[in-house]
A and B are shown apart, each in its own frame.
Chain A
């Protein structure tokens, strides 16, 4: 039933699930089709063939500008943000051993939000908005660190991480609201757009910066991949088979916070992707972190790309933040998951 391919050569060995590999290929093709669709649609509708022609051979300058400078960077940013948030959520759901864990629920996103809103309200006049991503990442990192330290009690247990995460998250949301109330009206609007999550007006510098961040985090993730599944065992079992549970849990939490922090730094506090995309991925491929992570990344990328496509095409001439439609698509699915939870 489960066909798998075993690769062995010298000191290297891996087992690859063929069904997973096949499904990932299908998902990849679908993702490319979604990208092509998103590049075609907008204020100016083009045929997909025309888009391919513009990308390969160039053509009318104005159309090339629309596709390569307006739509493509925005699309790539949406894809990267969605992918990073989903992998972050997948890691958290494993180390917390709770299917409801996500960067939003655990205070990482709210840390970034509070920092971003404080920056927009008090510092953006002074320094401009180019340091906003840095502030958001710092906020995410500090929130994750605070949660980990507060949860520590002869080791950080998953349950304590959840409870403290929810508490810290509530506190930081209060800070965000408080700051918004007292901030000048001019910055409140941009703060709200950031809090909803938007890739509006992205130029190439943004996806490039986010890709740079992800390139730094990725090797760490690849190195730690085999540790994610054993984190799902009880602490005693995991330690019994030789896992250094606490150390690896801290390392994975760091990777997860870094991924979410980087994503929200450039995409804003897009909620729900980190929760629903890993769930969809887990239904599509068999357990095994590597396969599920790639699938989660593809699903997350598609969710944000589609949400942004809806936001910028369905309500023309309005251009609405992608975060709204992630929530619109995500909430019903989330409820469906809760209602159908087997246990």
Chain B
């Protein structure tokens, strides 16, 4: 998946300007950047939720705008930030909605549908919750159910906008481990927006720093995450050391008070 001279915006305001971006297949890519820099807008356009002003998003060699909504939904799933579930819907029913792009008026619960939904429920470990209403679940459980819905969609690519928002640290790690397992075991391409730089560095194979309407830097976290980049992209002073356990970059921020 890649973008060519992609320009995004609302009315006259340009948010992303002539961006060329390559997102490696079968890898985990993480978009980082300050609030309002256009990460979410970029992710939306990758999923065809937003029409580019200029340029294009290329998915498997074809311009994504020239394909039907359903065809795109069979190749790419997106989980927006803080999604909301229909009132009273149960876990199984919500996950089953992920099968929509494969269904028609005639075919609404095929053997494939059933198998993929069961598999998604098992992979995300929510099979014991199937008959519970989604509204009753805790934040961590709910996020796993949403991920199960995108898995039921059976796509090669999964896009996630801040999948760890509002989760405590333990559940953040749980969700990121789940995504990494899916990437390693099934070869799914994962593209997500994350705010926590240290977790982003640990889980990302490929990292894109979005700044000033374009990709300020892209590459392996160890190669691109430098003190200079953090200063420029986030306007934040920090020190970067190697994580003592994982070896990935570890960013220790400091505000006005300088360390001795």
A interface residue numbers (CB < 8 A to B):
1-2, 6, 8, 11-15, 94, 99, 223, 226, 229-230, 232-234, 236-237, 239-244, 282, 286-288
Contacts and interface: CB of A to CB of B under 8 A. Distances in A.
Q: Which of A8, A282, A288 has the most CB of B within 10 A?
A: A8
B146 to A, nearest CB: 9
B70 to A, nearest CB: 4
A236 B146 CA distance: 13
Contacts of B113: 13
B49 A240 contact: yes
B109 A242 contact: no
A2 B79 CA distance: 27
A236 B69 contact: no
A289 to B, nearest CB: 10
Contacts, number: 97
B6 interface: no
B89 A287 contact: yes
A13 B108 contact: yes
B107 A236 contact: no
Nearest to B109: A15
23 contacts: A2-B90, A6-B109, A12-B107, A13-B107, A230-B100, A233-B83, A233-B84, A233-B85, A233-B86, A233-B97, A234-B80, A234-B83, A236-B49, A237-B78, A237-B80, A239-B47, A240-B73, A240-B150, A241-B77, A241-B97, A241-B101, A242-B69, A286-B88
A44 B150 CA distance: 62
Contact of A242 (B70, B83, B88, B93): B70
B236 to A, nearest CB: 30
B103 interface: yes
B110 interface: yes
B93 A239 contact: no
B44 A2 contact: no
Contacts of B79: 237, 240
Nearest to A12: B106
A282 B88 contact: yes
Interface of B: 44, 47-49, 69-74, 77-80, 83-90, 92-93, 97-98, 100-101, 103, 105-111, 113-114, 131, 149-150, 153
Contacts of A239: 47-49, 69
A157 to B, nearest CB: 14
Contacts of B153: 241
Contacts of B90: 2, 286-287
B8 to A, nearest CB: 14
Given A1-B131, A14-B108, A232-B86, 9 more contacts: A13-B113, A234-B84, A239-B47, A240-B49, A240-B150, A241-B77, A242-B70, A282-B87, A287-B88
A241 B109 contact: no
Given A13-B109, A241-B101, A236 B86 contact: no
Given A287-B88, A287-B90, A242 B107 contact: no
B114 to A, nearest CB: 7
A242 B105 contact: no
A2 B111 contact: no
A288 B131 contact: no
B84 to A, nearest CB: 6
Contacts of B92: 2
A287 B106 CA distance: 20
B21 to A, nearest CB: 20
Contacts of A14: 108-109
Contact of A240 (B77, B84, B87, B131): B77
A236 B109 contact: no
Given A282-B88, A287-B86, A242 B72 contact: yes
Contact of A2 (B77, B78, B131): B131
A226 B102 CA distance: 13
Q: Which of A237, A240, A243 has the most CB of B within 10 A?
A: A240
A237 B97 CA distance: 10
A19 B206 CA distance: 49
A324 B191 CA distance: 58
A227 B108 CA distance: 12
Contact of B44 (A8, A94, A236): A236
Contacts of A99: 87
Contacts of B71: 242
B195 to A, nearest CB: 19
A286 B79 CA distance: 25
Contacts of B108: 13-15, 226
A9 B200 CA distance: 47
A242 B97 contact: no
A232 B134 CA distance: 14
A282 B133 CA distance: 14
